[in-house]
């Protein structure tokens, strides 16, 4: 199918395509991290994950307006403020939800599924009431748009690089938090044995609350970042939720490394297949691969070994 193209063109496209795959990889990791933390560490399936992302997106939208109106001189840098605010807002709401809802349903995973789904519907309607049913456009600073031309045909999207750097930053942040901090040690202790962790003086309730909050906060950052590449509307969160669950379940629910490996597998196969086949077929085949592997390994790619 490529006989009509020169070798140089093909190399360029190969490079661009690899880059497209990496962007998709970063997007998937960013989407899934928050969910993976909550699912992996607490066993709670947060169906409202997409709505937390959109809360982050709306926070960004509001911040952009505030900067445009009151601080136009600082507009170029508003996005960083917006991301920080998105984290704080979603963290706060997450903590509130854990305190008001999740902690009562802890022992009943199916009920948390239903409760968080209900929460997602409530949030959607809330956004619709506050911001209107239509999508809103988030204005980006000029420097974040467009692309950096390396050669005549190789053009690297700046927002793609931005998402990649951000993902790297967040992922390493989560790694340090989980595996290098006292708090992470407590979280891991609670996951491995809740009663014993409580017995040695860890406040398990508090650990749960902050875990949930941080998971939601990261969803908020992801939502904020996705205003660069996607839409912001009351139901936009639904666009991401399926892929997010796919990544988390495929990776093995309790493993953050698994989430990253699974995001990598899915993104690379998706973008390669998309190039050779049509978009819908690529999606079908990716899903078939995932289903096939999950049939062979129901626990996902990486499973945490714990004594049952």
What is the binding site for another protein (CB under 8 A)? Answer: 5, 9, 13, 16-17, 19-20, 23-24, 27, 125, 128, 132-139, 145-147, 149, 153, 155, 157-160, 226, 228-236, 238-240, 270-271, 274-275, 278-280, 282-283
Q: How far is the CB of 223 from another protein (least distance, A)?
A: 12
From CA 138, how far away is CA 266, in angstroms rounded? 29
291 backbone φψ class: left, alpha, beta (φ>0; ψ -120 to 50): alpha
Between residues 98 and 274, which has the closer beta carbon with respect to another protein? 274
Between residues 232 and 254, which has the closer beta carbon with respect to another protein? 232
C-alpha to C-alpha distances, 66 to 126, 135, 241, nearest whole angstrom: 21, 18, 29
Between residues 138 and 191, which has the closer beta carbon with respect to another protein? 138
Between residues 177 and 239, which has the closer beta carbon with respect to another protein? 239
The residues, ordered by sequence, that sit 6+ positions from 111 with a Cβ below 8 Å of its Cβ are 105
Q: How far is the CB of 259 from another protein (least distance, A)?
A: 18
Q: How far is the CB of 130 from another protein (least distance, A)?
A: 14
Q: How far is the CB of 91 from another protein (least distance, A)?
A: 25
Between residues 94 and 234, which has the closer beta carbon with respect to another protein? 234
Q: Using alpha carbons, select from 29, 77, 87, 36 the residue that is nearest to residue 57.
A: 87
Between residues 139 and 299, which has the closer beta carbon with respect to another protein? 139
Q: How far is the CB of 93 from another protein (least distance, A)?
A: 22
From CA 100, how far away is CA 115, in angstroms rounded? 11
Between residues 214 and 228, which has the closer beta carbon with respect to another protein? 228
Q: How far is the CB of 49 from another protein (least distance, A)?
A: 15
C-alpha to C-alpha distances, 119 to 48, 147, 251, nearest whole angstrom: 6, 38, 26
Taking the CA of residue 149 as centre, how many other CA atoms within 13 Å lie in the half-sphere pointing to its CB? Answer: 3
Identify the sign of the CA torsion 111, 114, 115, 116: positive
Residue with tokens 């962790």: 197
Cβ-count burial of 74 within 10 angstroms (0-12 exposed, 13-18 middle, 19+ buried)? exposed
Q: How far is the CB of 167 from another protein (least distance, A)?
A: 14
């Amino acid at each position: 199918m490529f006989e009509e193209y020169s070798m140089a063109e093909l190399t360029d496209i190969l490079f661009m395509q690899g880059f497209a795959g990496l962007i998709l990889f970063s997007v998937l990791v960013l989407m899934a991290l928050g969910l993976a933390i909550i699912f992996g560490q607490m066993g709670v399936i947060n169906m409202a994950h997409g709505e937390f992302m959109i809360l982050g997106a709306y926070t960004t939208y509001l911040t952009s307006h505030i900067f445009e109106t009151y601080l136009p001189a600082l507009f170029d840098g508003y996005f960083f403020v917006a991301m920080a605010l998105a984290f704080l807002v979603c963290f706060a709401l997450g903590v509130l939800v854990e305190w008001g809802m999740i902690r009562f349903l802890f022992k009943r995973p199916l009920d948390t599924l239903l409760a968080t789904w209900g929460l997602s519907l409530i949030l959607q309607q809330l956004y619709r009431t506050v911001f209107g049913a239509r999508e809103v456009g988030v204005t980006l600073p000029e420097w974040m748009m467009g692309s950096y031309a390396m050669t005549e045909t190789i053009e690297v999207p700046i927002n793609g690089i931005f998402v990649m750097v951000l993902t790297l930053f967040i992922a390493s942040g989560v790694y340090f938090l989980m595996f290098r901090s006292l708090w992470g040690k407590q979280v891991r202790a609670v996951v491995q044995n809740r009663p014993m962790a409580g017995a040695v003086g860890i406040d398990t309730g508090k650990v749960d609350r902050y875990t949930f909050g941080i998971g939601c906060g990261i969803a908020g950052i992801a939502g904020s970042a996705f205003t660069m590449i996607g839409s912001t509307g009351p139901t936009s969160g639904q666009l991401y939720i399926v892929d997010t669950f796919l990544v988390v379940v495929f990776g093995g629910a309790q493993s953050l490394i698994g989430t990253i490996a699974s995001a990598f597998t899915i993104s690379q196969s998706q973008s390669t297949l998309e190039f050779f086949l049509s978009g819908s077929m690529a999606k079908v085949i990716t899903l078939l691969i995932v289903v096939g592997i999950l049939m062979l390994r129901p626990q996902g790619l990486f499973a945490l070994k714990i004594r049952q």
